């Protein structure tokens, strides 16, 4: 016999799947569900936990259990320059997928380079770098966290050092400033996964211990000089990384 909590979770999952409850809507309160399903509060809590662990719902303060959109956005890692629409690569990827995306600046700071950052950017440990933290929003919810580093000496006279949003994306700004050339810039990207930290899980609305996608990218100019170190952490249920139109080159 199937435990009651699984039966309730299955029914709620079906209601979400068939559109009875759409993304952004609030599920009935647990007190109402207790009456609807004629069961205990503990059983309802256990059923809700199943849906939360699956990423289907998230508890929002002063609202309740909000249904989440679980359709992932595919982020093209080869999308270096936006197609002249004033949007950055993330926003363009979301637009192409039929969603509203926004890259939201969180903080910009000048900090001494720690050993791993210094090595990636070929700097001395302690050299001043610009660190930019951003949240990639999908329909208003953070689904990816970006932290990027740049040598201050390289980007000092560019919009990258500013505290505001860089319209069109960082790469477009660096190309416009002459720091990068779209024809000669090269990218090395490492993709992986790991367990989210407590802060990452909170920012991405994930349960503690949930797996997240990771990406580390180093962008180099035509002289093989590192210009950007970018580290990304993404909700694997909402984001997929892909490469379109990959070109083969002779070794």
Q: What is the mean pLDDT of residues 5-22?
A: 92
Per-residue pLDDT tens digits for 162-201: 998 888 888 888 988 999 988 888 888 899 999 999 999 9
Joined tokens for residue 202: 């909170």
Residue 138 pLDDT: 83
Contact 231, 214 (CB under 8 A): yes
Contact 59, 225 (CB under 8 A): no
Q: What is the mean pLDDT of residues 137-141?
A: 81
In which element (H, E) is residue 4 found?
helix 4-17
Closest CA to 181 of 169, 194, 189, 172: 172
Could you tell me the pLDDT band of residue 245, with boundaries at 50, 70 and 90?
A: low
Per-residue pLDDT tens digits for 78-98: 554 445 567 888 888 888 777
Q: Where are the alpha helices (DSSP H) in the chain?
A: 4-17, 30-36, 41-53, 89-96, 115-121, 152-155, 170-176, 198-204
Residue 197 pLDDT: 95
Q: What is the mean pLDDT of residues 108-134?
A: 97
Residue 250 pLDDT: 47
Per-residue pLDDT tens digits for 147-160: 999 999 999 999 99
Could you tell me the pLDDT band of residue 45, with boundaries at 50, 70 and 90?
A: very high
Could you tell me the pLDDT band of residue 246, with boundaries at 50, 70 and 90?
A: low
Residue 80 pLDDT: 47
Q: What is the mean pLDDT of residues 212-241?
A: 92
Domains and CATH numbers, the chain: 4-67 (1.10.10.10), 73-242 (3.40.1410.10)
Residue 12 pLDDT: 94
Residue 113 pLDDT: 97
Residue 191 pLDDT: 92
Closest CA to 94 of 246, 218, 238, 244: 238
Residue 48 pLDDT: 92
Task: Please state the φ and ψ torsions of residue 155, each to the nearest 5 degrees.
Answer: -110, 10
């Amino acid at each position: 016999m199937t435990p009651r909590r699984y039966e309730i979770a299955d029914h709620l999952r079906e209601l979400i799947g068939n559109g009875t409850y759409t993304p952004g809507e609030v599920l009935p309160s647990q007190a109402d569900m207790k009456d609807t399903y004629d069961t205990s509060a503990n059983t309802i809590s256990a059923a809700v936990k199943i849906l939360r662990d699956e990423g289907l719902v998230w508890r929002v303060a002063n609202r309740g259990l909000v249904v989440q959109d679980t359709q992932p956005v595919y982020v093209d890692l080869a999308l270096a320059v936006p197609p002249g629409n004033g949007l950055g690569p993330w926003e363009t990827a979301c637009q192409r997928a039929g969603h509203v995306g926004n890259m939201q600046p969180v903080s910009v700071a000048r900090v001494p380079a720690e050993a791993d950052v210094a090595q990636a950017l070929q700097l001395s440990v302690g050299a001043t770098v610009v660190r930019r933290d951003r949240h990639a929003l999908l329909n208003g919810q953070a689904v990816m966290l970006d932290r990027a580093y740049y040598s201050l000496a390289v980007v000092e006279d560019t919009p990258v050092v500013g505290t505001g949003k860089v319209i069109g994306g960082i790469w477009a700004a660096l190309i416009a400033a002459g720091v990068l050339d779209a024809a000669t810039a090269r990218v090395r990207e490492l993709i992986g996964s790991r367990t989210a930290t407590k802060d990452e899980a909170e920012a991405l609305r994930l349960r503690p211990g949930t797996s997240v996608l990771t990406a580390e990218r180093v962008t180099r100019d035509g002289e093989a000089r590192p210009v950007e170190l970018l580290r990304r952490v993404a909700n694997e249920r909402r984001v997929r990384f892909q490469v379109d139109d990959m070109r083969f080159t002779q070794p």
